[in-house]
């Protein structure tokens, strides 16, 4: 994430995305993700990354990432490896999420997720 992206989304969304780290689709555990080539970039929960059954998120387009974003905070809040303090902070930010979202410029969240997508897909993870 870039600090310059902070103003494009609510504190809840930005903080949620700070709980992610870049990853790539590996040969093992491909399962339902067989539509993606090995090495495809994605996002991983940094709290359970490297542990068995770590949660990773792979999206074909930035629009799909934006449209399915709710899976990410849902995971962070339910992940047994996420520290309690982070869950508390996230819950607090969620309480003002809708109010903050209403004050954002129309289309800013789309720009944010396009930026995230571009950074993931233009770098080697």
Residue pair 112/5 in contact (Cβ under 8 Å)? The answer is yes
Residue pair 66/113 in contact (Cβ under 8 Å)? The answer is yes
| Entry field: residues in the chain | 125
pLDDT tens, residue by residue, 25-44: 886 555 555 677 888 999 99
For residue 13, name the pLDDT band (cuts at 50, 70, 90). very high
DSSP tag of 123: S
Give Cα 33 to chain centroid, integer Å. Answer: 17
For residue 17, name the pLDDT band (cuts at 50, 70, 90). very high
pLDDT tens, residue by residue, 50-92: 898 899 999 988 999 998 999 999 999 999 999 999 999 999 9
What global pTM score does this model have? 0.87
Residue pair 18/112 in contact (Cβ under 8 Å)? The answer is no
DSSP tag of 105: P
């Amino acid at each position: 994430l870039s600090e310059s992206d902070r103003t494009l989304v609510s504190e809840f969304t930005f903080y949620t995305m700070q709980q992610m780290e870049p990853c790539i689709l590996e040969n093992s555990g491909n399962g339902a993700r067989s539509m993606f080539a090995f090495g495809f970039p994605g996002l991983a929960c940094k709290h359970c990354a490297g542990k068995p059954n770590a949660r990773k998120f792979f999206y074909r387009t930035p629009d799909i990432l934006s449209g399915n974003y709710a899976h990410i905070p849902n995971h962070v809040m339910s992940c047994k490896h996420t520290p309690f303090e982070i869950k508390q902070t996230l819950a607090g930010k969620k309480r003002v999420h809708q109010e903050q979202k209403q004050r954002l410029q129309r289309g800013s969240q789309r720009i944010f997720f396009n930026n995230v997508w571009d950074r993931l897909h233009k770098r080697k993870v």
